[in-house]
Amino acid sequence: MRINKFLALNLNISRRDADKLIEKKEININGNYAKLGELVGDNDVVSYKNQIINSVKDHKYYKFYKPKNYVSSRSSQGNSKTIYELIKNKNLKYSGRLDKDSEGLMLLSTDGDWLNNNSHPSKELDKKYIVTTNLEEIDLTKFKKSIIDNNENLNIYSIKKESKYEYLVILKTGKNREIRRIFEYNNIKITNLKRISIGEYSLDNMKIGDLEEVKI
């Protein structure tokens, strides 16, 4: 494993920030200054500011039912609460960010590769949402699923009616506020947005705020 990946995993930082620590000569491997791109083995001793970094050996995998009114962030934004006030475990990273006003499934883990495999647009995984609107009936023949907003291509893969006011929406990408921006373009107000699944993982019978371990 490369040293920046080791640091990102065990210090819960980005690889870019890990490289900065290495450049500042704040990281040692077996008593010597670490070098960019250096490999770390199971028997190597890595330290940061003279403190040995204990390696995460066994990854943890979770599904999390994010409530509304919480931000998907480690640091608070104004008076907003963060998901980590519910999760507690600061070592868990997340994928599938949801905005403050949305609820539903997020994936959390100590394994960044697993998170990337279940979130990167190149994987083209189905991300399913239940969207509640202010309209009892939407004319889907006139609904624009693909738009350009601020020079960004936005696309809903599919949409179908589930019940009165509710629609099942599937994304393959998941750009910032993609569903909300497309619905706004169509002059439709969203009153609730809930993600129910990401690829093979779904909320199932989870309740709001639940953190459920996934066996890989």
Options 1.10.8.60, 1.10.150.20, 3.30.565.10, 3.30.70.580; CATH of 61-120+204-213: 3.30.70.580
SS3 of residue 134 by DSSP: coil
**CATH fourth-level superfamily of 3-52:** RNA-binding S4 domain (3.10.290.10)
pLDDT in single tens digits along all 216 residues of the chain = 899 988 987 887 888 999 999 999 999 999 999 999 999 988 899 999 888 987 766 688 999 999 999 999 888 778 889 999 999 887 889 988 999 999 999 999 988 888 988 988 888 899 999 999 999 999 999 999 999 999 999 999 999 999 999 999 999 987 899 999 999 999 999 999 999 999 999 999 999 999 999 987
Instruction: Supply the DSSP string of 58-83, one letter for each residue.
Output: S--EEEEEEPTTEESSSS--TT-EET
What's the CA gap between 105 and 128, in Å, rounded? Answer: 10
Q: Which CATH number fits domain 126-198: 3.40.50.920, 3.60.130.10, 1.50.10.10, 3.30.70.1560?
A: 3.30.70.1560
127-150 pLDDT, tens digit each: 999 999 999 999 999 999 999 999
Q: How many CB atoms lie within 10 A of CB 74?
A: 12
Distance of alpha carbon 101 from alpha carbon 87, whole angstroms: 18
Give tens-digit pLDDT for 70-93.
999 888 778 889 999 999 887 889
Report pTM: 0.76
